[in-house]
Structure 1
Amino acid sequence: MRKDKSAKLLEWLREGQELSMRQQLLLIVHLSIPAIFAQISSIIMEYIDASMVGCLGANASASIGLVASSTWLLGGLTSAYNTGFSVQIAHRIGAGDGKGARRIMKQGLITALLYSLILLSVGAGISRELPRWLGGDSSICREAFHYFLVYSLALPIMQMNLAAGAMLQSSGNMRLPSILHVLMCFLDILFNLVLIFPSRNVLWMGHQMCIPGMGLGVLGAALGTALAQLVIMICMMYFLLFRSPALHLRKEEKLQFYRKDIRKAIGISVPVAVEQFIMSGAQIMSTRIVAPLGMIAIAANSFSITAESLCYMPGYGIGSAATTLIGQSVGAGRHDLTKRLGWIATCFGMLVMAVSGACMYLLAPWMISILSPDEAIRQLGASVLRIEAFAEPMYAASIVASGVFRGAGDTLIPSCLNFCSMWLVRLPLAAFLAPKFGLRGVWIAMCIELCIRGVLFLLRLAFSKNWDQTDKRHRGKLLT
């Protein structure tokens, strides 16, 4: 694996060399671009599923939209667990402790698999009753149950895929996970074409071609995504365990469990998991608010969230890069750079998402038209996307600053900020506005809440006075 510019700059950072402002910005950009593509590719998969299922009608779209917030909850919990180990790996690599990083990696992979089996049991256990709990119409509950059940059964695959990708990123390799995630999009298209639709004849370059299909509909969309995840998980694990320069397995290093490593991982992961539970729980409550507005509103809400994801996924990519960068800075004891890099990353994210928000405002009708042929869904979806476009820069502030704090091992306060903004601002305001303005009222509440959340995270970043001391404490613990 040839060293790229970001790997070279990270090496200079770990060695204590001076980095100019231009080099710091280049480091953030070089780390962010692959991470942005990885995040966008995951949303493109949702686009693919939504647009293909959208061809089956509003009921099929609504069945996925009904359980979407619940799948985000399970997906968020899988990702949260990985944070505690990937952040520690970044700290160890930053401190030059490769053996310690590999020890943490192995513990993380084994415990992540066990954790995902618990989530699988919970998800599968509630899958039949969940659509009814969420207030879904009887006409869509059966397909919603099938979709959520398959999603739950595939959670161990997703868990190991995310764990391997996060660990590769924490070692500074942002490019490979990005390439594999893009490949996963193409696999998802291929599997969906076969599983969602029945066998059919298509005209291609003047010739009739028969495309085989199983005609499974919504169930086929879930199976297609699971199969794509499985293929990429195998690839991701191979590169992590056998090809990664820093993390590949060594024969002389045996698997050992250290209470200190696991306790620290739990200390980092639990606030993130609670945050994901709170945020996704709020999304489920939001679904309950939207459900009485009708199937058009449910479908438009689901499609609009998917469409908006294309605009905020760059923020999550930059946040992932910031976690790696800040984590390695903390491990290397570079307290002179840590907070400055955090501000550069946050401002860069706000700039990128300001541009993406402007694009979303202009292209909203086209973005929704890709996902649904229904004119009523298109009009309603485009109108709420244009409301949300104004919140994107401040949303970026909260996303990237959260990534900065995670890299420093600070996850409790950001989780509290997210809880307050979601449950004390968005949900009460959405419940108040929905009866008066319908789905538009729900999205007005979302826009206001995201702006408030961004301000809270910027204030947290500005008034964090103990970064230097925190860096020194982390460095001292790593060396012992």
Structure 2
Amino acid sequence: MATNFTEIIKNQSVLSNKQKINIIIQLSIPTILSQISSILMQYIDAAMVGHLGPDASASIGIVSTSSWLLSGLCSAMATSFAVQVAQLIGASQYEKARRTFKTALITSLIFSCILLIIGVLVNQSLLTWLGADPAIFDNASAYFLVFTLSLPILQLNSLCSSMLQCSGNMKIPSLLNASMCGLDVIYNLIFIHYFGVVGAAIGTALAQLTVCFINLWYTTCHSSLLKFQNHEKFYLEKETLKNAFQIGTPLAFEHIAICGAMVMSTKIIAPLGTIAIAAHSFAITAESLCYMPGYGLEAAATTLVGQCMGAQRKELAKSFSNLTVAFGAIIMGIIAIVMFVISPFVFQILTPDVQTQQLATEVLRIELFAEPLYGVSIVASGALRGAGDTLIPSLLNLLSIWGVRLSLSVLFVQTMGLHGVWLAMCIELCVRGLLLLYRQQRGQWLEKSL
């Protein structure tokens, strides 16, 4: 598949809309299926922990945004090199693509180890700052510590998956992610039984470690475009590191801004009590089922736009970006309608606590109205990223989430409680979608070059 669509992009002068749609579907479906399995893993994790009681769910919920911040930074590092690889493959510079991958391995490991050290150092003070209830402090601290120690493994998985996806190989990362979800369930059944909340973190870390070995082996030894060649010399290239910095820095600040805002949201929600924290955490888990197609299409958009830009086919890049953005809005809108109907049943599976079920259903239904534009923001970001355009989109995200979501959350929570926080989220996601759609449609990103 990788070779087929890569050769089509480089050699076929005109592509019909049917051909474009077929390529998008073939690239998106494996990643979407992977997202489904990943979401199912989150549901199973949440359900397993949820049956330990609201305090157990709140223990994970209070640190979830901080965990996303660190994993998001790992993702930004992976993307900063994967985009370069996509464009190099599009330009048929395969040896340089492999050198870029090698550089990424070294740089990413160093980066993730630095994050590990920071996470360990701030563990206790972070929970104090977030205002964690003393009843959940120990469990939350232990969960976050295990997660932090697994960051180098998470980084390697993210990097190898991103590299394979940007080379056009969506199937292997998807299969490995699905396998990781299955392993996570098995490990959780064992470790949650013996260690409670922290067992969920241990199970996930071991599942990631198992898959990491396979992922790394396949990418370096078996990938048709990325596997290491004995005769090829390796050396760090200043240009590669410079490009990675230019692409990755805005993405890193974007993740810091978004997750930092989520941490602030957690701090805003914390005084509302354990039920509110648990409901908020469960609602986020349930909502993730709605945006999984968006992230599948985002990966396809990044790959297609990156390879088109590398092949100097800018009009084709714009066409692929338009189609993927439209698909993202339509599919996420349809899933939001379904989730609106089934959300009470979803929360009955995730937690036995009736108060938590009711509150989670109410707040999630508020946010579901924003899903189509949320889909636009996700896929448009992926398309722009494929061209190396990360600075302006990151600034737009920063403006939206800090200028709209947080300010409205502080205003609405006073009178509406958790409902107000989710109303602010709904409004902000709509604003974000419109801002990124405007950026994508203007087409200035087509002039970007690495």
TM above 0.5: yes
- The 1:339/1:253 distance shift into structure 2, 3 A limit, reads same
**Displacement after TM superposition at 1:320 (Å):** 1.0
Q: What is aligned with 2:164?
A: 168
Contact preservation (8 Å) 2:90, 2:308: yes
Matches within 5 A, 1:86-165: 86-165=82-161
- The 1:466/1:47 distance shift into structure 2, 3 A limit, reads closer
Matches within 5 A, 1:282-321: 282-321=261-300
RMSD of aligned alpha carbons: 1.1
1:344 to 299, 305, 323: 323
**Displacement after TM superposition at 1:353 (Å):** 0.3
Q: What is aligned with 1:275?
A: 254
Matched, 1:387 2:366: yes
1:32 to 13, 28, 38: 28
Contact preservation (8 Å) 1:36, 1:317: yes
Q: What is aligned with 1:210?
A: none
Matched, 1:361 2:340: yes
Contact preservation (8 Å) 2:73, 2:255: yes
Deviates more, 1:445-454 or 1:15-24: 15-24
Distance 2:31 2:261 in 1: 27
1:463 to 431, 442, 447: 442
Contact preservation (8 Å) 2:389, 2:445: no
Q: What is aligned with 1:9?
A: 5
Contact preservation (8 Å) 1:15, 1:332: no
Contact preservation (8 Å) 1:94, 1:331: yes
Aligned residues: 450
1:58 to 39, 51, 54: 54
**Displacement after TM superposition at 1:225 (Å):** 0.2
Contact preservation (8 Å) 1:54, 1:372: yes
Distance 1:41 1:111 in 2: 29
Matched, 1:76 2:72: yes
Contact preservation (8 Å) 1:80, 1:269: yes
Distance 2:41 2:143 in 1: 15
Matched, 1:229 2:200: no
Distance 2:236 2:339 in 1: 47
Distance 1:286 1:259 in 2: 39
Q: What is aligned with 1:203?
A: none
Contact preservation (8 Å) 2:332, 2:375: yes
**Displacement after TM superposition at 1:122 (Å):** 0.3
Distance 1:366 1:19 in 2: 44
- The structure that is helix-richer by fraction is 2
Contact preservation (8 Å) 1:9, 1:23: no
Note the residue ranges of structure 1 that are not aligned, 5 or more in a row: 198-214, 475-480
Secondary structure at 1:129 match in 2: helix
1:329 to 308, 313, 321: 308
Deviates more, 1:57-66 or 1:454-463: 454-463
Note the residue ranges of structure 2 that are not aligned, 5 or more in a row: none
Distance 2:415 2:17 in 1: 50
Distance 1:371 1:154 in 2: 25
Query: Alignment identity in percent?
Result: 49
Q: Which structure has the larger Rg over C-alpha atoms?
A: 1
Secondary structure at 1:196 match in 2: helix
Secondary structure at 1:87 match in 2: helix
Matched, 1:47 2:26: no
Residue type at the aligned position of 2:128: R
Secondary structure at 1:127 match in 2: helix
Contact preservation (8 Å) 1:353, 1:396: yes
Deviations 1:316-348 (A, max 9, x none): 111111001100000111112111111011001
Q: What is aligned with 1:200?
A: none
Residue type at the aligned position of 1:138: P
Q: What is aligned with 1:217?
A: 196
Q: What is aligned with 2:357?
A: 378
Distance 1:119 1:16 in 2: 44
**Displacement after TM superposition at 1:16 (Å):** 4.1
Distance 2:43 2:151 in 1: 20
Contact preservation (8 Å) 1:130, 1:145: no
**Displacement after TM superposition at 1:44 (Å):** 2.4
* TM-score normalized with structure 1 length: 0.92
Superposed structure 1 runs of 4+ greater than 3 Å apart: none
- The 1:12/1:153 distance shift into structure 2, 3 A limit, reads same
Contact preservation (8 Å) 1:16, 1:332: no
Deviates more, 1:453-462 or 1:284-293: 453-462
Residue type at the aligned position of 1:220: G
Contact preservation (8 Å) 1:304, 1:384: yes
Distance 2:83 2:440 in 1: 19
Q: What is aligned with 2:415?
A: 436
**Displacement after TM superposition at 1:63 (Å):** 0.5
**Displacement after TM superposition at 1:48 (Å):** 1.9
Deviates more, 1:400-409 or 1:9-18: 9-18
Q: What is aligned with 2:222?
A: 243
Distance 1:363 1:417 in 2: 33
Deviations 1:408-462 (A, max 9, x none): 0000000001001101101010111112111111101100111111111111112
Matched, 1:178 2:174: yes
Distance 1:111 1:411 in 2: 20
